[in-house]
Structure 1
Amino acid sequence: MSGWSAAAGNPHKKARTSPYPGSRVERSHVPDEKVSWLVEWPEYHSVDYTASSVLARPRWADPQVGESNFSPKFNEKDGHVDRRSRNGLYEVEDGRPRNPAGRTGLMGRGLLGRWGPNHAADPILTRWKRDSRGNKVTHPVSRKNILQFVAIKRRDCGEWAIPGGMVDPGEKISNTLKREFGEEVLDSLQKSRAERQELEEQLHRLFSQEHFVVYKGYVDDPRNTDNAWMETEAVNYHDETGEMTGCLPLKAGDEAKEVRWADIVDTLKLYASHSQMIQLVAEKLGAHWSGELHPDYYE
């Protein structure tokens, strides 16, 4: 699954939705055929919006472009901040980076801290759905085994999603995956030191097993703007026997409102582009996804 691009005939959609998350700001309307920057549109005028929480300059946010002592090195590793895109080089116009997937109807940074790519990491933990006897459950139509993954309900929008979060400056992706999973799925921030140590050992075993990178790159996210956008690295950790995840003490924490094991089916409605990532995992493991009839079903 490559990045979203208007040129590829798959223009981002959630990055053009209004109102902008957490606000009443309406984006300028951008029709599908004018998303790509390659399409000339001299009349294009996007709304300029950066949330006050970002302008307050928390440690995870850049200053405004044009401020003194702020000379970001776009398309490069800028100190501890990685301003490189996983989708290749992006253009910079008037000192502002330009969203590689096209127009969004809104300039500035919205809720995002960094100009350009804002890097996140999403751990996708899966296991086979099993009945009371421990046998794998198959779907009656596709006759494929049903896969489950750990899903969270986000506090900010109430949508179900893959757990995950932002990569701290200088942090390794592997550490982000473990940290975010612990904070959102196991409520590690509220545990005692002894409990945290026990969880850390459990997570180390879980995240040290064989895994595969599901996707790296641009994410069609409702927080994206013309000048700031989300990118992620989604990694699948699959527990084939279910032994390691059987005693996982799920408890929503940090930015998660609820947490549960969710069946992977094609009717899943998830935040941003998470459904596409989950579909890739199902296909990779040969699990049930679509509701299409299996050829043998007619026998």
Structure 2
Amino acid sequence: MATTFTTHRQPLEYLGGVRRFPVPEDKTPWSVDYPGYHPVDYTAPRVLSRPVWADPDIRKEEEPEKPLQFNSLDGKVDRKSHMGTYQIMDKVPRNPVGRTGMIGRGLLGRWGPNHAADPVVTRWKRDGSGARVEREGKPVLEFVAVRRGDTGAWAIPGGMVEAGDTVSATLKKEFGEEALNSLEATDEEKRKIEEHINHLFKSGDKLYAGYVDDPRNTDNAWMETVVFNFHDDSGEGFSKLNLVAGDDAAAVAWTEVHSGLGLYASHSHFVRLAVEHRKAAW
């Protein structure tokens, strides 16, 4: 996956009008001198209020009671990066890809890597008779997309890996919450949803593990993810699931895959990886 910034340096409207310091493309790498670089320092108030998913503001602690163990498994919090060992500069991690125009954590809770898991759930598009639809001699995929409540962008129904959780558990939980509205389901409905998801997510193919070109990234905090493709070849498995938007998703739908998809952050790239893996039309 290309590790160049595309969305990071754009003004983030949902950050309350906070604007990044401009970073020309050729000044993104830390190896290139940028004497006039003065990134804006921003961490969202809700992050500073210390919810369970957020670290303390270690820059303001002279001697923290419990120093964060970067580049390692810190208790239940995974602070290792898929990119390898990252540098610690002035007590905080430095984004391994380069400058973003912002220091602090922005909307992200963890210093350094913030881990997510993203399921690309696919099936073949079929016509009225049940035959697979083709485009330019290749079968056409459909995938489950959700519309984010924060930005309005369409995305994969993934989410953050919480402390102590596994990637596998997060993939199932986030798909259930965002695409099936499991949070609002009755106990019996939740049981059925869980049974279906456990069966359908029994075998997936890992497509990617690494850095995410995410608009929330800063010089000191960034998104990383593990992406799996769960494919329903017959089309009968996922048909038993009733897609209902839930949690922080505003809408959910089976969406035809094509080259004009404009999805949140790196999600278009992840769908493209599924297309290549399935030898489908793009």
- Match runs of 1:1-299 below 5 Å: 1=1, 4=3, 11-19=4-12, 21-65=14-58, 66-67=60-61, 68-139=64-135, 142-208=136-202, 210-289=203-282
Amino acid of the residue matched to residue 220 of structure 1? D
Which moves more between the two structures, 59-68 or 221-230? 59-68
User: How far apart are 1:136 and its partner, in Å?
Assistant: 0.3
Instruction: Give yes or no for contact 1:144–1:287 (8 Å, CA) kept in 2.
Output: yes
Instruction: Give yes or no for contact 2:117–2:170 (8 Å, CA) kept in 1.
Output: yes
> For the residues of structure 2 that align with 1:78 and 1:20, how far apart are their CA atoms?
33
TM-score, normalised relative to structure 1 = 0.91
> For the residues of structure 2 that align with 1:237 and 1:231, how far apart are their CA atoms?
20
Instruction: Give yes or no for contact 1:14–1:220 (8 Å, CA) kept in 2.
Output: yes
Which moves more between the two structures, 17-26 or 80-89? 17-26
> For the residues of structure 2 that align with 1:287 and 1:107, how far apart are their CA atoms?
41
> Over aligned residue pairs, what C-alpha RMSD do you find?
1.0
> For the residues of structure 1 that align with 2:197 and 2:88, how far apart are their CA atoms?
40
Secondary structure at the residue paired with 1:246?
helix
Secondary structure at the residue paired with 1:235?
strand
Amino acid of the residue matched to residue 219 of structure 1? V
TM-score, normalised relative to structure 2 = 0.97
Q: How many residues of Structure 1 are paired with residues of Structure 2 in the alignment?
A: 279
CA deviations 1:199-239 (Å, max 9, x no partner) are: 1101110011x321111010000000000000000100000
Q: Which runs of 5+ in 1 are unaligned?
A: 5-10, 290-299
Aligned partner of 1:294 in structure 2 is none
* Structure 1 segments (4+ residues) deviating >2 Å: 19-22
Q: Which runs of 5+ in 2 are unaligned?
A: none
User: How far apart are 1:42 and its partner, in Å?
Assistant: 2.4
Secondary structure at the residue paired with 1:118?
strand
User: How far apart are 1:60 and its partner, in Å?
Assistant: 0.3
CA deviations 1:31-63 (Å, max 9, x no partner) are: 000000011122211000000010110000000
> For the residues of structure 2 that align with 1:33 and 1:92, how far apart are their CA atoms?
23
> For the residues of structure 1 that align with 2:278 and 2:6, how far apart are their CA atoms?
28
Q: Percent identity?
A: 52
User: How far apart are 1:143 and its partner, in Å?
Assistant: 2.0
